[in-house]
């Protein structure tokens, strides 16, 4: 692949780096649903996971490689450290994909070399060509990342990059791993790499960055101006710590300000050719799907996809927009998929209408899941006159969590009031099908429910977040509950919606507990040491 593909390639890492957001762990079915939507969105590369990290990650990457993309779809990529066991696991996981990539990395900053890798610069320079060549023996498409490049010695960085390209790397990724740089600094870094690496024309230059200082998107746009042609980003900007560069913000900045960026691609300012291959009308669907499945609520004032992104409160603004939307709006809401739904769903709606609407929203359910979702839809339609897209998203987002559910909620009943002690009666069905019931008191109805569930499930944890919001307007609106719990320093989220917020809270807590249980035995790997190969001996081919 040439250095400049003539546009910006979008490398989505929602399923890898995005999933590393505290409490945002996804199961296999959830990952597959997001990957299918990313393919509809039109991203160029899906980084599906870190196959060596756990058998669960391996299975998810392999499932996505088997089911998503195809010859005309996105490249399916797996991440690996620069070690043979990692690369072999990655190659095996992505093998079913028609278009596949191994993304391998090693740190290059002195602080990482000294305190994390405990290796010298020379040792790293010896590892890079060996591991890139090893990855190249499995696939034609290899990406190499210099972890913590933004804090690396430049001369050493140039040497590592040149070696990686000479060994067969098609893409070179420059990460601002800790979100430390400013736009001008990051732009200069990309410019200097282009000037000082002799064979840089043989690879696509990519960037990856975190938002610790709120500068990730600005850094990336400056990098584009200086020759970066692949952007590694996530839906809603989710990711470790303060998150990653937000895909939707990058895409719409390049879309709205195309005339500004065109000259950096050798085009006339007025050229109408898009700078990315992303289908912008799929942005809102993608955002809501990721938000619902991770339980990470999008802030109302979030650019592009926030609830207030196209809302106008000021009378002056409202007057201007009514006369001409361009007075206060630089983006047509329909461009990002916020168009009115022409299909009215209610209690008389049939399965076909519900299935069609769910497919429009990015959900591709199998027959069994559709039956369950339709039953929940009918139940809601008996209590709510009109079902909106947000209602549908809320009631179906839990469905993909069910295959791994150890605990299932069967009954919730509470009594509370000004002269009553809040009391909850809860029945849970365990993995063996046995029903257990508990009655507990609490400081409020939700606390009573949580106390009862804790006594039934015997999974000690600390509840650190409980939030409730209305999905839509009106007295009959669904209440959407997000719960986060913590054990041994790890966060697990649960998400649910119901017209009864106490029921929603109970189900959200059960979902969080199921994630906690499912995570037991999973080992997170971020260091470069090779002695962890034994973790995967049973499942690496």
- Fold of the domain spanning 402-519: Double Stranded RNA Binding Domain (3.30.160)
Residue 61: name the closest of 94, 86, 87 by CA: 94
> What is the enclosing helix (H) or strand (E) of 238?
none
pLDDT score recorded for residue 388: 74
pTM: 0.80
pLDDT score recorded for residue 254: 98
Measured CA to CA, the distance from residue 279 to residue 266 in angstroms comes to 23
Measured CA to CA, the distance from residue 99 to residue 93 in angstroms comes to 13
Question: Taking the alpha carbons of 21, 538, 103, 290 in that order, is the dihedral positive or negative?
Answer: negative
> What is the enclosing helix (H) or strand (E) of 435?
strand 435-441
pLDDT score recorded for residue 496: 84
Domains 9-266 and 402-519 share a fold: no
Mind listing the pLDDT tens digit for each residue in 268-295?
Answer: 999 999 999 999 999 998 998 898 888 7
pLDDT at 537 over 50: no
9-266 domain in CATH 3.90.1420.10? no
Q: Do 292 and 395 contact (CB within 8 A), yes or no? A: no
What is the mean predicted confidence (pLDDT) over 52-75?
92
pLDDT score recorded for residue 39: 96
The model's confidence at residue 435, banded by pLDDT at 50, 70 and 90, is very high
Q: Do 229 and 204 contact (CB within 8 A), yes or no? A: yes
- What torsion do the CA atoms of 51, 52, 53, 55 make, to the nearest 10 degrees? 70
Measured CA to CA, the distance from residue 61 to residue 48 in angstroms comes to 5
Q: Do 396 and 389 contact (CB within 8 A), yes or no? A: no
R_g (Cα) of the chain, nearest Å: 24
What is the end-to-end Cα distance of the chain in Å, rounded? Answer: 30
The model's confidence at residue 64, banded by pLDDT at 50, 70 and 90, is very high
Strand order in the sheet with 435-441: 408-417, 420-429, 435-441
Q: Mean pLDDT, the chain, as a whole number?
A: 86
Domain boundaries, the chain: 9-266, 351-397, 402-519
pLDDT score recorded for residue 63: 96
Rounded to whole angstroms, what are the CA distances from 450 to 238, 420, 445? 28, 18, 9
| Lowest mean pLDDT, pick from 287-296, 327-336, 408-417, 489-498 | 327-336
Which one is predicted more confidently, 5 or 387? 5
């Amino acid at each position: 692949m040439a250095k400049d593909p003539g546009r910006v390639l979008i490398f989505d890492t929602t399923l890898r780096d995005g999933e590393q957001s505290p409490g945002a762990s996804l199961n296999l079915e959830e990952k597959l649903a997001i990957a299918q939507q990313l393919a509809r969105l039109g991203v160029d590369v899906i980084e599906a996971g870190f196959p060596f990290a756990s058998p669960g990650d391996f299975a998810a990457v392999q499932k996505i490689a088997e089911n998503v993309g195809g010859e005309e779809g996105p490249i399916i990529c797996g991440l690996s450290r620069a070690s043979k066991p990692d690369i072999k696991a990655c190659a095996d996981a992505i093998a079913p994909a028609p278009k596949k990539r191994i993304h391998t990395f090693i740190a290059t900053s002195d602080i990482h070399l000294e305190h994390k890798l405990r290796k010298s610069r020379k040792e790293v320079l010896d590892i890079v060509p060996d591991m890139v060549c090893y990855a190249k023996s499995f696939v034609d498409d290899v990406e190499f990342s210099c972890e913590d490049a933004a804090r690396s010695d430049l001369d050493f960085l140039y040497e590592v990059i040149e070696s990686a390209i000479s060994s067969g790397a098609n893409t070179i990724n420059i990460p601002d791993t800790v979100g430390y740089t400013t736009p001008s600094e990051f732009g200069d870094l990309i410019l200097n790499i282009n000037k000082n690496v002799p064979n840089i024309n043989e690879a696509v230059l990519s960037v990856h960055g975190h938002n610790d200082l709120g500068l990730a998107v600005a850094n990336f746009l400056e990098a584009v101006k200086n020759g970066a042609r692949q952007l590694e980003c996530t839906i809603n900007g989710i990711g470790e710590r303060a998150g990653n560069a937000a895909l939707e913000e990058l895409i719409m900045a390049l879309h709205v300000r195309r005339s500004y960026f065109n000259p950096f691609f050798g085009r006339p300012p007025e050229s109408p050719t898009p700078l990315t291959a992303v289908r912008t009308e799929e942005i809102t669907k993608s955002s809501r799907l990721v938000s619902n499945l991770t339980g990470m609520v999008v802030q109302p004032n979030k650019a592009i996809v926030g609830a207030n992104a196209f809302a106008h409160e000021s009378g002056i603004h409202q007057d201007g927009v009514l006369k001409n939307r361009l007075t206060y709006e630089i983006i047509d809401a329909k461009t990002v998929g916020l168009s009115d739904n022409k299909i009215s769903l209610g209690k008389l709606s049939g399965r076909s209408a519900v299935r069609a609407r769910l497919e429009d929203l990015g959900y591709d359910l199998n027959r069994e899941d559709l039956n369950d979702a339709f039953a929940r839809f009918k139940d809601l339609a008996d209590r709510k006159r009109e079902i909106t897209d947000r209602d549908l998203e809320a009631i179906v987002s839990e469905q993909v969590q069910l295959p791994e559910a150890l605990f299932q909620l069967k009954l919730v009943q509470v009594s509370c009031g000004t002269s009553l002690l809040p009391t909850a009666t809860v029945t849970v069905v365990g993995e063996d099908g046995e029903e257990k019931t508990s009655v507990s008191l609490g400081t409020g109805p939700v606390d009573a429910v949580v106390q009862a569930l804790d006594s039934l499930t015997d999974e000690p944890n600390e509840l650190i977040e409980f939030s409730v919001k209305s999905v839509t307007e009106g007295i009959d609106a669904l209440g959407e509950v997000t719960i986060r719990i913590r054990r041994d320093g790890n966060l697990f989220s649960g998400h649910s919606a119901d017209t009864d917020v106490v029921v929603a809270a109970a189900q959200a807590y059960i979902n969080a507990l199921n994630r906690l249980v499912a995570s037991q035995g999973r080992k997170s790997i971020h260091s470069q040491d090779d002695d962890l190969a034994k973790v995967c001996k049973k499942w690496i081919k």
